[in-house]
Amino acid sequence: MSSPAVRVRFAPSPTGFLHVGGLRTALYNYLFARRTNGVFILRIEDTDRARYVEGAVENLVSTLRWAGIDFDEGPGKDGGVGPYVQSERLEIYRKHAESLFASGNAYYCFCTSVRLEEMRKQQDALRLPPKYDRHCAKLTPDEVSALIAAGTPRVLRLRVPVGATIRFHDVIRDDVEFSSDAIDDQVLIKSDGYPTYHLANVVDDHLMKVTHVIRGEEWLSSTPKHILLYGYFGWEKPVFAHLPLLLNPDRSKLSKRQGDVAVEEYRAKQYLREALVNFVALLGWNPGDDREIFQMEELIKEFSLERVGKSGAIFNQTKLGWLNEQHLRSKSDRELLGMLQCELAGSPFKEKTFPDAYLLSVITVMRERVSFMRDFVEKGAYFFEAPASYEEEMVRKRWTSESAGQMEHLVREFSLLTVPGPAEFESALHRSAQSLGVGNGVLIHGVRLAVSGVSGGPGIYEILAILGKDETITRIRAAISRLAPTAR
């Protein structure tokens, strides 16, 4: 008998932005589905109405698609087991909750919030773990009926067996077991009629034919409750795989307090989706060798749950930055050309036009010096506009009382060039240095300051060739005029 086709799901709550931990969960599910020719489902778990954020669903879908993660079934893509939004499935949960009550595997609890709070205080005073004391589990059927008839607010709780050991196998953590005595009688249906995560999650996973549940380690302690529910319903449980925690460098759990955690924040900072996906994929999984650079197609080919580790994964921002550099620099000239044109359209130079050939020349000399697309414009601003100011420290160090005369000599030498490239500019500068009796470096520093306004950047001869003879001379003369008063 063949195994059922792989069906996995990503089930976020629409409570705001997509956390990078959520992106990793979605990515691992997506990679596993694609690797096995399975189905990737997006399910929206919106039963916690107090935390619901308007527009969050649309943002989740948009962010996943930006990352290259598209779902096969979900909102707007019916696969025959929808709806895929939990708030649209309340009647389904109600019927299953009633069956649990009828079978005696769940019971109604009528305790007020005041009583529950007092119970918690007593447990704290005795240093007991917080757990419902089963006060309402002792009610007789007649008492329960009377309370319901009176309209007393109630919740439905899972009846956890006493003295049992609950075991299951986890692909990442091997065999796991819990004592039932440490498990609370979980609320399954809240007083507002909405299900909690635990009931809705199990019912939906079964009805949507989910074969593998791949989720974060924080849900590991909830799994025994889910195992009980599968057993009470008489359903086959899925394969479980609980992913390691994401940690800050100090090994605390990744949190907003120590940096960005939302995918949208990294997107806004111009991290490439290829880099972020590559980085997130390596937070817990490894290919079994020393490779670090992956495209999505390569991740699909290589990914396996067996190579996901148990230990927490450190979220290293420096590593993410390095990956962004590698992915950016590996792009073709044509890809970068389109990206640079978009970047310029939102820059102070948006009113100017630059030929494709000119921009491609800029890309060639700047490619190995950028980490983000904005660096082309910010670090290479002098390619798009003559400098309006000059780096003060470089002026102090490099622009002497002789600099103006030296630059005048260089202008005369450059004026004699016909169609100069880097080699021609270099030869002209060497001739000027020899004639002036100074080292080449003296003129190199002076002309770099004059044409770019800064001390660093690509090779000066490449810069001059890109700017061209006329623009280079114009900028040198402007620097002679502006910097003469500050000469020593």
Average pLDDT of the segment spanning 340-350? 96
Q: How far is CA 349 from CA 59, 238, 266, 331, 384, in A?
A: 31, 56, 25, 24, 7
| Angstrom distance (rounded) from CA 405 to CA 67 | 56
User: What percent of the chain has pLDDT above 90?
Assistant: 91
Full set of structural domains in the chain with CATH? 256-328 (1.10.1160.10), 331-380 (1.10.8), 386-488 (1.10.10.350)
| Angstrom distance (rounded) from CA 18 to CA 62 | 10
In this structure, the number of other CB atoms found within 10 A of the CB of residue 270 comes to 15
Q: 264, 220, 221: which is closest to 244 by C-alpha?
A: 220
Structure tokens belonging to residue 196: 């909690």
The answer on pLDDT for 38 being more than 50 is yes
The answer on pLDDT for 302 being more than 90 is yes
Structure confidence at residue 252 as a pLDDT band (50, 70, 90): confident
The answer on pLDDT for 183 being more than 60 is yes
Q: 7, 84, 9, 72: which is closest to 44 by C-alpha?
A: 84
Backbone angles phi, psi at 68, to 5 degrees: 85, 15
Structure confidence at residue 260 as a pLDDT band (50, 70, 90): low
How do residues 45-68 score in pLDDT, each as one tens digit?
Answer: 998 877 888 888 999 999 999 999
Structure tokens belonging to residue 277: 């996906």
Comparing 13-17, 73-77, 137-141, 236-240, which segment has the lowest mean pLDDT? 13-17
Structure confidence at residue 1 as a pLDDT band (50, 70, 90): very low
The answer on pLDDT for 163 being more than 70 is yes
How do residues 98-112 score in pLDDT, each as one tens digit?
Answer: 999 999 999 999 999
- Mean pLDDT across the chain, nearest whole number? 94
Comparing 2-6, 130-134, 453-457, which segment has the lowest mean pLDDT? 2-6
The answer on pLDDT for 184 being more than 60 is yes
| Angstrom distance (rounded) from CA 225 to CA 100 | 13
pTM: 0.91
Q: 400, 451, 390: which is closest to 425 by C-alpha?
A: 451
Q: Which residues in 294-361 belong to E strands, given as ranges? A: 313-314
What was the pLDDT predicted at 230?
Answer: 98
Structure confidence at residue 249 as a pLDDT band (50, 70, 90): confident
What was the pLDDT predicted at 487?
Answer: 42
Structure tokens belonging to residue 210: 């989910």
What was the pLDDT predicted at 54?
Answer: 87
Peptide bond into 355 cis (omega under 30): no
Contact of 410 with 476, CB cutoff 8 Å: yes
More reliable by pLDDT, 2 or 406: 406
DSSP 464: H
Structure tokens belonging to residue 73: 């079934």
What was the pLDDT predicted at 253?
Answer: 85
How do residues 428-479 score in pLDDT, each as one tens digit?
Answer: 999 999 999 999 999 999 999 999 999 999 999 999 999 999 999 999 999 9
CA angle 294, 297, 298 (to 5 degrees): 45
Contact of 175 with 200, CB cutoff 8 Å: no
Average pLDDT of the segment spanning 95-100? 97
Report the side by side order of strands in the sheet with 155-158.
106-109, 155-158, 187-189
One-letter identity of residue 171: V
Active site residues: 256
What was the pLDDT predicted at 488?
Answer: 45
More reliable by pLDDT, 313 or 488: 313
In this structure, the number of other CB atoms found within 10 A of the CB of residue 438 comes to 15
